Amino acid sequence: MDLRIWIEEMAMVKLNAAAAVVLSLLVVVAVHPAAADAGGDWYGKKSIEETVRKEVEKAIKHNPGVGAALVRLVFHDCWVNGCDGSVLLDKTPYSSSTEKAAANNIGLDGFDVIDAIKSKLGAAVSCADIVVLAGRDASAILSGGRITYDVGTGRKDGVVSSAAAADAVLPESTFDFAQLKDNFASKGLTQGELVILSGAHSIGVAHLSSFHDRLAAATATPIDATYASALAADVERQKGVQHTDNPAEKNNIRDMGTAFQSAAGYDAAGVDTAAVGALDNSYYHNNLQNRVLFKSDWVLRTDGDAAADLAEYRDNATKWDVDFAAAMAKLSKLPAEGTHFEIRKTCRCTNQNYYYGKKYDSIILMVKLVCFVVVVFMAAAAAMAGADRELKVGYYEKTCKDVEKIVNSIVVNSIKANRGKGAGLVRLLFHDCFVRGCDASVLLEKSEMNMHPEKESQANIGIRGMDVIDAIKAALEARCPNTVSCADIIAYAARDASRYLSRGGVDFPVPGGRLDGVVSRSRDADAFLPDSAANLTGLVRNFRRKNFTVEELVILSGAHSIGVTHCTSFAGRLTAPDAQINPGYRNLLVSKCGGVSPTATNNHVVVNNVRDEDGAAVARAMPGFAARVRKARDYLDNSYYHNNLAMAVTFHADWALLTGKEARGHVVEYAKNATLWNVDFGDALVKLSKLAMPAGSKGEIRAKCSALN
């Protein structure tokens, strides 16, 4: 039943409160099942596509720049949670940070065109389909009809939109080639398709914040000097024209006018300079002249195969037209992720929020408040529970006595049998909570329904301690069936491992009440977990997405005083310059890894902490160093900070902390004050353990931690 009609009927017949609660629950949570496969003419009416085409033509005629925005909109929607129209959602009092607010979505436009099309087509056509159809038509118009492809329909609109997810998944303009390649591979797109889709940068504009690194004097991605000079001058001019310190510049030098091209030394041979705003292969001409805005464009030249593709598409415009069409068709088929879908009444808000703004505000608000009370009450039933449960210390005191004692006993015995399990349990908390919140999604094994859970992620290579979690779960199920979540077990176990490995120095109360998630994807782990090769800027950005400060980044990095790592995780350090790594330590690592080029088939394990290496080997490689650190193997302490200041740490991401004034200051502080680090590390782990699942997520209490119920 239509929600609006139901509300009116409820008001007329004055349903009793109990009936209203039951009916409201049924209506408010009713949503479409998972999105249908996009294929064919879902709506059975050619007039729908004709309407889209006419509106797009009209919009581009009125504002030529909106065409590029519509093409970009397809990528920015489909790349985040699949093609589900989530990029269109505005913020509400209930969701204040949607994809539109993402830093990677700065300058995103074309929403008014989508709105105009939606108003013509009505409630039957999804916004997700409109985005894809409009992007296809804009491509055709801007290419003069050379780029055409069929677009299947039948997508549904998602109900979740997160700025953090967009910033985590969308490729950044500062990515290097390896990051770009991995990012596209995570979506099932090839290196060739990366080069093809980058050609869309022949149109549109970009803000200074997206390419200011290319104008820096000491840039690591050299830009043609004459182009850089002309661009820098125009940026200053545009600041005044656009009244902002972050002005937009045209992506394509072809569109900058003859005066600019002359100042920039542009060789226009093979480029139709009169085709301003055209979607064509001019991008490849520009890139091979090193006259492109983004680092992520320039880096395509650094790989042999990608550079060859650049040259091929520069020389063969028709081939690029055909291949771009095929890549866009593939992009538009990225399946929507999640469990709840609908066909929105208006593209800027979900159907539930649509009615909040109508004349039924007071009634719907009353219904929502009543529903909230009931849902909280029902959360006791695990199968019906959602992600939002209040965490509190001593959560199981009345429902399962001695939970934390049982956990501690098994953890301590496991570490006594294998001390390395302790570091594994501490790492497990971070690798679980930093992806989708603390939901035990890292524990799920692959299945026929999910062949690529978080465990399969490269970021989770060598993850340990899951057998300890399984043993704890078995003991608790025997004591209190269907009561204690796997997510809570991970948090308790990490606390107990920290306490044992620090000899009581690190201890803190752990709240309970988490639920186990039902979603686990390797690509999420790859997107959210910090890269061991990241620089300080990337690390700070990654931690800020989870609301952690620079200080907390430094604090949590101290966990690298324990545990082991694979050589492929720090391969770049094996050839790093002396200014970044102690030469003796580098030589020690090279000997441990069997050379400077570890591979997946020759991937040795090395201890994180030089303190835990063979003393004689360290003395030979680094005379005088061994005596500077506490000799207690796998001891969770502040030795990491001593090692870092001596440039004797495994990961580039560790050394990178020394490159920023604030971060380096904290490294020095914790090297001097072990007690302070113990306290601050405990506080940071408590904060980490409170990271919640994404809004709208469903949860359960698993019977077995490695599988859904």
Instruction: Tell me which residues are annotated as active site.
Output: 431
CA–CA dist 538, 523 (Å, integer): 18
CA–CA dist 299, 659 (Å, integer): 24
Asked if residue 61 lies in contact with residue 53, where contact means CB atoms within 8 angstroms, the answer is no
E strand or H helix at 285, and its extent? Answer: helix 282-288
Q: Any binding-site annotation on 57?
A: no
Checking 669-677 for CB contacts under 8 A at 24+ apart, the result is 670/554, 670/555, 670/558, 670/638, 670/641, 671/638, 671/641, 671/642, 671/644, 671/645, 673/638, 674/505, 674/637, 674/638, 675/505, 677/555, 677/558, 677/637, 677/638, 677/641
Helix, strand, coil % (nearest 5) of the chain? Answer: 55, 5, 40
Q: Any binding-site annotation on 432?
A: yes
CA–CA dist 121, 119 (Å, integer): 6
Q: Between the CA atoms of 499, 505, 511 and 515, what dihedral angle is there, to the nearest 10 degrees?
A: -40
Q: Any binding-site annotation on 604?
A: no
Q: Any binding-site annotation on 62?
A: no
CA–CA dist 697, 687 (Å, integer): 20
Pairing between β-strand 392-393 and β-strand 564-566 as defined by DSSP bridges:
unpaired
CA–CA dist 640, 627 (Å, integer): 14
Q: Any binding-site annotation on 507?
A: no
21 three-state secondary structure: helix
- Residue that is written with structure tokens 């581009």 in the block: 60
Q: Any binding-site annotation on 157?
A: no
- 565 pairs with which residues across the strands? 606
Q: Any binding-site annotation on 453?
A: no
Query: Which one-letter amino acid corresponds to residue 108?
Result: L
CA–CA dist 373, 134 (Å, integer): 42
Both tokens of 572, joined, read 């770049």
E strand or H helix at 67, and its extent? Answer: helix 65-78
DSSP codes joined into one string, 423-475: HHHHHHHHHHHHHHSSSSGGGPPP-SS-S--GGGSGGGTT---HHHHHHHHHH
| Sign, Cα dihedral of 249, 250, 254, 256 | negative
CA–CA dist 484, 448 (Å, integer): 26
Q: Any binding-site annotation on 662?
A: no
Q: Any binding-site annotation on 454?
A: yes
The answer for residues whose C-beta is within 8 angstroms of residue 369's C-beta and 6 or more apart is none
Q: Any binding-site annotation on 437?
A: yes
Cα radius of gyration rounded to whole Å, the chain: 28
CA–CA dist 425, 563 (Å, integer): 10
Both tokens of 642, joined, read 């001593």
Q: Which residues are annotated as a binding site for Ca(2+)?
A: 432, 435, 437, 439, 441, 454, 614, 637
Residue list for the binding site for heme b:
560
Q: Residues comprising the binding site for substrate?
A: 530
**Which residues participate in the annotated binding site?**
432, 435, 437, 439, 441, 454, 530, 560, 614, 637
